[in-house]
Chains A and B, each alone.
Chain A
Amino acid sequence: MIPFDFEYYRPQSITNAADIFQTLEESGKNPVFYAGGTEIISMARMSSITTGAVIDVKEIPELKAMEFNGDDLVIGAGVTLTQIHEANLFPLLAQACARVADHTIQNKITLGGNLCGTIIYREAVLPLLLTNAYLVIASVKNARRVPINEVFSKRMQLNRGELLVQVHIPRNYVSCPYVHVKRTKEDKIHYPLLTVCALLTDNQVRAAFSGLVNFPFRSVEMEEALNDINLTLEQRVEQALNKLPAAVPDNLEGSAGYRTFILKHLLTSIVNELETGNVTNS
């Protein structure tokens, strides 16, 4: 049971959502955009967050889109992880979505919620980082389409009142050879000890990571090392490990040494699989 009251709004358009956010903000209600709501409800139950109003945006048509449009695969921020997995229009993203939380919760978590939530793993962002996806973001002032690396740095960098509307993924990436690997400490349903998404494009390996450090990331420096054909595979992986963007944490989920050990072996097998065309996802 949520131990405080808030107001509930279900706008039918982006304009309507942006307007009501501004009105509620000005009246001191501290509103939040609400899609799947799993994180908001569980945090509200513990009084970890408070709000005077939730704005349920997941039934706005643009947020429910999922289709190829021109050169892009367009996925609305209100599309659930299950819908993305079942449609399988972008297999790497579908696979990443199918390993967030458990299946029933995937019926509720939305793509936008996974990207904008406070839980640090945000595994659905990894395929988007690899494909140079664009995000459509709306506010009461305007709507803008921006490259993901301009608004995702460790987490989504949205201003108050900005609403993530859609993700646009360049079509040419959706059928690239890929590998998705998620390793957990114990059960299959758990936060990641380490999740790696990788794909091969123009004979170059791209890789993005979650669980390794305290934020999901893609590192161009690590990719340059992994793709340095003047070195042996073992040397390439060692070079990549030296270019991690932050210290690997020691915590209950796993020691830094253990995580690095797993990463080293995963990178070796992933690069080998992609370069030899012998891909086995797990």
Chain B
Amino acid sequence: MPKKNESVSKPDGSKLHALWEVVALDAFSAPKSSSEQIVRKWDALKRLFQRSTTVGESPFKPESELQQLPHEFVEHLTGPVDWSAPLSAFAATINGWSGTAGEPAVVFMVGPPWSGHAKVLHAWAAALNVPCIKPPTTQDILRNNLDWMAPSPERSQFWIMPELERCYLRHAEGLEMVRSFLEQAMRGIYGPGIIGCDSWAWAYLQYVWPVPCSNVLTLQAFDASRLTRLLRQLSIARSSSRYCFKNASNGKTVLCSDDASTEINATVHQIAARCCGNVGLALSYWRAALRSEPEVPDEEESKKGADSSGDEHIVWLGRLPTSPVLPDECNEEIALLLHTLLLHNGLEEELLHKVLPMPHLHIMALLLRLLELRIVEQVAGRWHIAPLAYSGVCTYLRARNYLLDHFQG
């Protein structure tokens, strides 16, 4: 069913892939960088020996001479991604699918945390004005109550459920409802629909109720080329000023907002490879690395400066943040907690003790400690893995043989 998205020709005649591309899950191809792999292995070795090392090379702009940009200014420079942009790619991929006449009744859209697949589906539901199914309550899940998902009066009505991961709880009584839901959805009881699912939950659900993999889509990885274009788009979207992002370690220009060149800077390659093509993660790394010189105006002035047209602003890119070091002692409990958070794409604290073999207060003690280490964060009442800790957590869990998602290779 998935169809290849069209490519655009570069000025030099070579093909330039579309910014947003929707592909079959097996066609996902994460960007790789040999230097990034070496850096990762070196970091792993350093952690093994628990020794801190200092970088001998003297940077072009020492980090101590730069300051973190104000949050508002960072938002201004890398302002929100337009999640309706991938809709045309998605529509092109499933073009011709109606969910009837022997076709699969549902299409799955799977993506790793922060990759934006759920936001794309929300945007699509809003654009098409189709029902966007809200997840069931915990009580519905534990009581295997499917009333929250009433069959559509017209079975041809299209529906979208962006967050399948909210439809189960890794609990002995928390799996039956998602099985029933998937069975009925795939039989077409609810009519044709699109179901979004976080990749970690998807990996787990393969053991709960194996889903056929022929109709599973994902957003193609953001390689360095796509990431460069997206960063340019974001930096010019909200300002007419020209921004030049320069690497603080060597002074070289990483990208400029109005630059049309197709040259890719090594730093962008590094970010794309470190984030395995995950666009949300890449933006988090990018935002965390942005720096300015102290004489650059404060919050108010910077906003003013950013709005003034015709100006050129230099924004420095400091060293990419490294993943926080996970505490080694009591590692089993920490691994269980982190893995649980990933499998549910975040959980409320009152549910954590239902799915973990630890008392509530002990879980809270671990969470608060991990919060201090910036490994987890609490967003809208749910505990999540912090974006900048994600790659470190994945490495940590991989080394301990835990179930990983499809995107961890």
A, B in one complex: no
Binding site for B on A (CB under 8 A): none
